[in-house]
Amino acid sequence: MGLTELGINLPLLIAYLVTFVILLAILYQFAFKPLLAAMDQRTARIQEGLSAADRARDEAASSQAAIEEQLNEARREGQRLMDQAREASQRYREGEMERARQEAEAFAERARADIQRERDAALEQLRASFGDLAITAAERVIERSLDRQAHEELIAQVLAEGETWRRG
Amino acid sequence: MPSGAVAKRLLLLAAVVMAALLIAGFVVGAIGSKMFGGADPFLAQPEIHLPPQPVFPFSAAAKSLGIKPETEHPSPAAAEAEADHPPAGEAAEHAEDEHHFTPLGATEFAVTNTLLSAWLASIAIILFFVLGARKRAMVPGRFQGVVESVMEAVMNFATGVLGAEMARKVFPVVATIFFFVLFNAWIALFLVPLYQAVGLGSGAWWNTQIQIHLVRPAGTDLNMPLALALISFVFVEYWGIRTLGLGYFKKFFAFGKLFRLKPSGLIDAFVGILELISELVRVVSFTFRLFGNMTAGEILVVMITFLVPFVANVFVFGLELLVGLIQAVIFAGLTLVFLSLAVHHEEH
């Protein structure tokens, strides 16, 4: 059984080779190249879309975070301002109270000093008046030295005068 | 689409018809006619020819059948006339008994039925892909989607073996091999009437004994698998040399250690020669694997049709669809594996 019995035939072999090569060329040119390019393009497009979506999501998340941050910042700022204001008002109140107390104290002090002075002046006056009284009394005593009873009355009178004076 | 109950009834009817045809086929086929005696089987016993048969020019076909130029007509009418004419019919019968078919000589050229089928398959492939690629839409339609997903399947297969970059480079050749094998195997199954009932033959018009089919699957012609095997072989060697330069041949001619007089050099040299032989034998194994599978499938179809005509072949057709796909995957897959061996052989 020779090879021809199996059907080996050189021209046919060449014909198949040529057929295959032509088929390959046509498929490559008109099918594989354009289709692979289209598929690649689609892959790229989809990838692009996906990454754009990713980016958008990231951006949204980051802007969300930024807004959150800003809100927190504002909240903190507000808190700080309020604290500051409260502290300032506290300080102010304390200062005012201190001042009022000092004023009151100064006023009281002044009043006390006035009273002291008045009293001193009164005492001085009294002392001076007593001198006059004593002199007056002595004059009277000398005028009425004869009468013991009158003497005593005189003293009582002077004292009573002193008493009323002191009261008055 | 018929509604549920009607569909069920139709399905049942189809099943009954199928069963009836199966039984009828069994009875009138070769097995039944022997069992129940007497009558000739429904179909004449098929002839099996391994070599491809010439169809164009007619003179080559006639010559291979040993028919005289006067009776050379491919029409059934001619066959009938031949059958009606007793001496010619007798001669034809006599010739049939002798299996007088003479194949082409090794260097004779004629368009054979297998080559014709290969062209038909090529046109089918081109139509499939070029129509699929015609619009190149960014959002593919149904047909483009089918074509693309088929291509993507082959591309993924290649990527799995070779990695994305290399797969991209070898894809056109590997894919063409894949689809060439696949379409050549399947076209005979999808165009049964053309492949089984058109040809040059003898006998009554309703039962012509076809001696030369107009088309016959190209896989059953040894030249086609051989051509593919050579292409695959050359392609693999090309990539081996292109990637590794002349160092590629070190695998086969490993005499380096032997020249440095190391004893283990003998083993290396021997292994190298084994590699060389196995590399060359791939061509033979590629060729006969595809040829054997396709031929066996064709013979099986013909024989089952002869033994039990009508519907028994449905199962064989299912099997053959699978075999065609498997052979395409194997041919393309082995090419990929050999490519990866040729490109990466430094590592082993």
Confidence bin at A3 (pLDDT 50/70/90): low
Which one of B119, B136, B231 has the shortest CB-CB distance to A34?
B136
pLDDT at A144: 59
Q: What is the DSSP string of A55-74?
A: HHHHHHHHHHHHHHHHHHHH
User: Across the strands, what pairs with A131?
Assistant: none
Between CA B49 and CA B194 the distance in angstroms is 18
DSSP reduced 3-state for A129:
helix
Between CA B266 and CA B270 the distance in angstroms is 6
Q: Say whether pLDDT at B173 is over 50.
A: yes
Confidence bin at B90 (pLDDT 50/70/90): very low
The whole-number average pLDDT for the span A132-147 is 72
Residues 6+ apart with CB under 8 A from A16: B115, B118, B218, B223, B224, B226, B227, B228
Structure tokens given for A16: 């198949």
Is it true that the peptide bond before B57 is cis, omega within 30 degrees of 0? yes
Q: How many CB atoms lie within 10 A of CB A14?
A: 13
Q: Say whether pLDDT at B1 is over 60.
A: no
Confidence bin at A163 (pLDDT 50/70/90): confident
Give, as one character, the DSSP assignment of residue A7.
Answer: T
Q: Say whether pLDDT at B210 is over 80.
A: no
Which one of B50, B172, B227 has the shortest CB-CB distance to A28?
B172
Q: Chain B contacts of A17, Cβ < 8 Å?
A: 227, 230-231
Q: How many CB atoms lie within 10 A of CB B106?
A: 15
- Taking the CA atoms of B14, B311, B179 and B329 in sequence, report the sign of the dihedral they define: positive
Q: Chain A contacts of B138, Cβ < 8 Å?
A: 38, 41-42, 45
Q: Which residue of A has its CA nearest to B53?
A: A7
Q: Does A35 touch chain B (CB under 8 A)?
A: yes
Q: Please identify which residue in the block is written with the tokens 């006059």.
A: A132
Mean pLDDT of chain B: 82
Between CA A80 and CA A98 the distance in angstroms is 26
Residues 6+ apart with CB under 8 A from B259: B265
pLDDT at A27: 92
| Contacts A–B by Cβ distance under 8 A | 131
pLDDT at A65: 93
pLDDT at A146: 59
Confidence bin at B97 (pLDDT 50/70/90): very low
Instruction: Determine the residue type at B175.
Output: A
The whole-number average pLDDT for the span B327-345 is 91
pLDDT at B229: 96
Confidence bin at B204 (pLDDT 50/70/90): low
Which of A1, A18, A27, A45 to substitute to test the interface with B, most B CBs within 10 Å? A27
Q: Which helix (H) or strand (E) holds B267?
A: helix B264-307
In 3D space, the residue among B74, B79, B81, B76 whose CA is nearest the CA of residue B59 turns out to be B74
Which of A9, A39, A43 to substitute to test the interface with B, most B CBs within 10 Å? A9
The whole-number average pLDDT for the span B329-335 is 95
Q: Say whether pLDDT at B68 is over 60.
A: no
Instruction: Determine the residue type at B224.
Output: M
Exposure on the CB side of residue A163, measured as CA atoms within 13 A: 6
Between CA A131 and CA A136 the distance in angstroms is 8
Q: Say whether pLDDT at A91 is over 90.
A: yes
Q: Which whole-number Å values give the CA distances from A69 to A62, A78, A83, B13, B57, in the listed order?
A: 10, 14, 21, 75, 88
| Greater pLDDT, B331 or B88 | B331
Kindly list the domain boundaries of chain A, sorted by start residue. 8-167
Q: Is there a contact between B117 and B185 (Cβ–Cβ < 8 Å)?
A: no
Residues 6+ apart with CB under 8 A from B55: B61, B110, B111, B112, B113, B116, B200, B212, B214
Which one of A6, A7, A35 has the shortest CB-CB distance to B132?
A35
Structure tokens given for A148: 């013991």
Q: Which residue of A has its CA nearest to B221?
A: A7
Between CA B227 and CA B225 the distance in angstroms is 5
Q: Chain A contacts of B284, Cβ < 8 Å?
A: none
Structure tokens given for A147: 């009468």
pLDDT at B206: 65
Q: Chain A contacts of B114, Cβ < 8 Å?
A: 12
ipTM field: 0.81
**Percent of chain B topping pLDDT 70:** 86
Which one of A5, A12, A41 has the shortest CB-CB distance to B223?
A12
Q: Which whole-number Å values give the CA distances from A63 to A48, A55, A67, B170, B332, in the listed order?
A: 22, 12, 6, 48, 53
Structure tokens given for B295: 């031929």
pLDDT at B110: 84
pLDDT at B27: 82
Structure tokens given for B211: 């001696």
Q: Say whether pLDDT at B107 is over 80.
A: no
pLDDT 10s digits, A9-67: 888 899 999 999 999 999 999 888 888 888 888 889 999 999 999 999 999 999 999 99
Between CA A78 and CA A110 the distance in angstroms is 47
Between CA B118 and CA A91 the distance in angstroms is 104
Structure tokens given for B335: 């090419």
